Amino acid sequence: MTELLIEDTGDGVRILTLQRPEKHNALNTALTQALLDALLDADRDAACRALVLAGAGRSFCAGADTSEFAGLSGDDPQAAFDRAELTTQLHAVFTQIAKPVVAAVHGNALGGGAGLALACDLMVVSQDARLGYPELRHGIVAAVVMANLVRQLGRKAAFALVATAQPLSGLDALRLGLALEAVAEGDVLARATAIAASMAAWSPQAMAATKRLFYRVCELPFADALQAGRDTNALMRSFRKVK
């Protein structure tokens, strides 16, 4: 079985499903690379206008596959660096591609799995899902995932999550503004796909410019953000409405 299932719904939405259910979709090197490649391929495909990221089986993603850690020991520092670099590229690509991505989160989304959910542009979560950063329980650090967590949740709440290792429920994620909707587990994928379809219906050019500007102004001082908005405002006059 392939570790990543890629499906097109026919209305511009592409569903990427992590396919390691026996491992709660833990991210090994092969799956991490496959997901990164699939996201880049989708960005180049004009037929794809929005994406949904889901997990097969009982969980969205349980984080990094710790069974690989033994092979990334200090005996080969380059291998450890290369693996960390691959993870970094995966988390960065969500803001770099033009297509919006909706996470469909159920079951466990822990460590790198929680980071993966937060890296998506929007999240639909099951009410009883578990999102959290249990790395300290295993003597390791919530490292690459921390950049997104701090930016999206704020300093105090983000530190509490990584320092106490206490998980959030789906309803907690909704209350904190991390999730767009919290629904029954059986409705997560359908709802995430419907939201993706609504965004796929917009002009691809306008959607891409909206996403690009959004992530740009997130990192800019206010005056610079206004100027970035001004530049996009002038640029969008050249857009043609896509039917």
What is the distance between the alpha carbons of residues 120 and 95, in angstroms, rounded to a whole number? 8
- 135 is a catalytic site residue: yes
- Tell how far CA 139 is from the center of its chain: 25
Residue with tokens 């921390």: 146
Maximum CA extent, the chain: 57
Question: Which residues, in sequence order, are CB contacts of 60 under 8 Å at separation 6+?
Answer: 18, 25, 54, 103, 104, 105, 106, 107, 108, 109, 113, 116, 117, 129
The region that residue 235 occupies, defined by phi over 0 for left and psi between -120 and 50 for alpha, beta otherwise, is alpha
Nearest to 8 by CA among 43, 68, 52: 52
Question: What do you get for the CA distance between the two ends of the chain, in Å?
Answer: 38
Candidates 135, 181, 185, 219; catalytic one: 135
Q: Give yes or no for a contact between 196 and 13, defined as CB atoms under 8 angstroms apart.
A: yes
Record the tokens describing residue 76, joined without a space: 């080969």
Q: How is the beta sheet containing 130-132 ordered, strand by strand?
A: 108-110, 130-132, 168-169
Question: Which residues, in sequence order, are CB contacts of 175 under 8 Å at separation 6+?
Answer: none
Catalytic positions: 135
